[in-house]
Chains A and B, each alone.
Chain A
Amino acid sequence: MRYIKLPSENFEKFFKSLEAWGTVYAPVRKGSIYSFQEVHDPSEMALDYNRTMLPPKKFFFRPKEAILRLKNGRWEDEVEAEPMVLFGLHSCDIHGLKILDRVYLDEPADPYYKSRRERTLIIGISCMPDEYCFCKSLGTHFAMDGFDLFLHELPDGWLVRIGSVRGHEIAWENGELFEEVTDEDLANFKEFEERRANAFQKELPQEGLADMLDLAYNSPVWKKYAEICLACGNCNMVCPTCRCYEVCDRWMDAYKAVRERRYDSCFMENHGLVAGGHNFRPTRLDRFRHRYYCKSYFDPSAGYNCVGCGRCDEFCPAKIEHVKVLEEVRGSLK
């Protein structure tokens, strides 16, 4: 890793230089929530945000998109993506993208996702946890890769970690904006990280989590929460690692049709329904439990399918808390 410093006074210039790479999207405040939007000026951004409602997955795996267009009886596709810069991603969201990559870039790769991913510059930014964050428990509070540049806040600017060849190119082309990192900067960086590590209020003990959950398959806790759950599927929509989709063909006129896909949720009753009306997850209990199992699946090479971003808690209308459910399930085993 190469480290450089971006002094505060050069931030705006640096930001402007990014427009040469593609449309810039960054967190913007909208009422009480944040969302990634196109921005043209640093003043539009809210870089001290906690989390956006929809995670950055929306740029690669869209809430709704046409994958094929029917013209003259044949499917045509438009795979080529526009270049983009995603500015200000938190470490957990970068990990979320890495988990999606494992699914969507695995052969045969999803061409839409892949093309957008290849044409997008990822710029991370440091953050302070709020009451919902538990990324530290899952080891996703620090990104070692998955970004081009990562900006860590310093009292007088930013410590920049360069994570890719493209990151190097940006630093190279804007050489005059950056400085060498001093010992003082490193001390400030370390101090920030320590302060941050101590600021987490929520913790998910993850020792033996996967096995514990499996053993607790019949725990009454699942039932208790399944009864409170509204099965609205919000938690799926906002999760940076949920990626189920549903497909539907739609006619535009007598000659043209599109094949569309859109976010799907495992809370929906028809998620496990097959022909003849047989449902493999017929009850809300089955579906509620399924989501927790899917999120807590541990892949030795990539970790859990949850990055601890806290979105499912913040945006659950029934106020169901992910960590609390898991801890209660664990408790019910004893």
Chain B
Amino acid sequence: MSENPYQTYDARILEVKDLTSREKLFTLRFLDPEVGEKFEFRPGQFVIVDIRGFGEFPISICSSPTRKGYLQLCIRKAGRMTKFIHKMKEGDIIGIRGPYGNGFPMEEMEGSNLILVAGGLGMAPLRSVLWYAIDSGKYEHIWLLYGTKAYEDILFRDEIIHLLKHGEAMNCSVKLAYEVESPSCIYLERGFSDRVCRGVVTDLFRGEEFDVEKTYALICGPPVMYKFVIRELLDRKLSPGRIYMTLERRMRCGIGKCGHCIVGTSTSIKYVCKDGPVFTYWDALSTRGLI
């Protein structure tokens, strides 16, 4: 293997699936089985995707390490490079390096309840946690609170609806909030009146109480979401050390060199790429500019 950390490894696109009009799910496998074997990751880590000759960009791994042999990335068409990858097809080759970042402390949370709070594209990294938690069976109960714009924007819609129906058997309760009304949403709401509602993700906390001694919250969503979700959790007396969030910054290297993802001030500087992207709320209290 190359000693050069900027070198990427060939991965074949096994499948491309439209999740919404803006997001596609790419299923990948490393061409070299040895590279695939060595590639181990934790939920919450990310990779750098390399489209040779066009550039690189960071993407969270959205599959779970419990499901081996492939890697999944959910990519939103956001600009130049993501537009390019959206045009790629099954069989095409891209480069991958990583995994990077700290990921969620899954072992530490074993035996506890997990509250996953996802907003929009934030569902992508949390899906890795979700399936890891369900597959491993090492967690007491899993809540997924998912806020989305409209029915058409629900990422992994089949899986979400499946979990709405059968989640309890897997110790998993799903709650969904949507903002734009549509017949499909109303239909869902009728079927699961206690778990689907019109509103924002924080509305899903209404009426929920949890055992703060045995619960962790994991949050991912657009920058504006954090403040509101954290307030709900603190109101319920969850300790800042039990609130994990995964953040996004501009990234180039992913390994603490290029300086783009630096946040903080003279008393505390953090690299989102290597100290994060997962941080606790304590980190946010001591490092300005984190959220």
* A and B associate in one complex: yes
Q: Whole-angstrom distance from the CB of A297 to the nearest CB of chain B?
A: 5
Tell me the number of A-to-B contacts counted with CB atoms below 8 Å. Answer: 114
A79 touches B266 (CB 8 A): no
Considering the complex, give the chain A residue whose CB is closest to the CB of B82: A275
Chain B interface residue number, banded: 35 or more
Answer whether residue A271 sits at the interface, using C-beta atoms and an 8 A cutoff: yes
- Assess the A247–B252 pair: CB atoms within 8 A: yes
Q: Given that A249-B53, A275-B78 are contacting pairs, would A294 and B269 also be in contact in the complex, using a CB cutoff of 8 Å?
A: yes
Residue of B253, B264, B266 touching A298 (CB-CB under 8 A): B266
* Cα–Cα, bound, A246→B258 (Å): 7
Mask of B260-291 contacts with A, CB within 8 angstroms, 1/0: 10111111010000000000000000001100
Does A31 belong to the interface (CB within 8 Å)? no
- Which residues of A have CB within 8 Å of B4? 68, 77, 79, 111
What chain B residues lie within 8 Å of A209 (beta carbons)?
A: 266
A77 contacts across to B, CB distance below 8 A: 2, 4, 6-7
> What's the Cα separation between A70 and B4 when bound, in Å?
15
- Complex Cα distance, B56 from A244, in Å, reads 17
A142 is an interface residue with CB less than 8 A from chain B? no
Hey, which chain B residues are within 8 Å of A271, CB to CB?
Answer: 250, 260
CB distance A266 to B6 under 8 Å? Answer: no
CA A276 to CA B248, docked complex, whole Å: 12
How far apart are the CA atoms of A33 and B52 in the complex, in Å?
40
The answer on a CB contact under 8 Å between A257 and B82 is no
B258 near A274 with CB under 8 A, answer no
Instruction: Tell me if A82 counts as interface (CB < 8 A to partner B).
Output: no
CB-based contact A297/B266 at 8 Å: yes
B266 touches A245 (CB 8 A): no
Interfacial residues of chain B within 4-22, with CB under 8 A of chain A in the complex:
4-8
Mind listing 25 A-B residue pairs with CB under 8 Å?
A68-B4, A68-B6, A75-B7, A75-B8, A75-B52, A77-B6, A79-B3, A111-B3, A111-B4, A210-B266, A214-B265, A217-B265, A244-B258, A244-B260, A245-B252, A247-B56, A247-B258, A249-B52, A257-B52, A264-B259, A276-B78, A280-B249, A293-B266, A297-B264, A297-B269
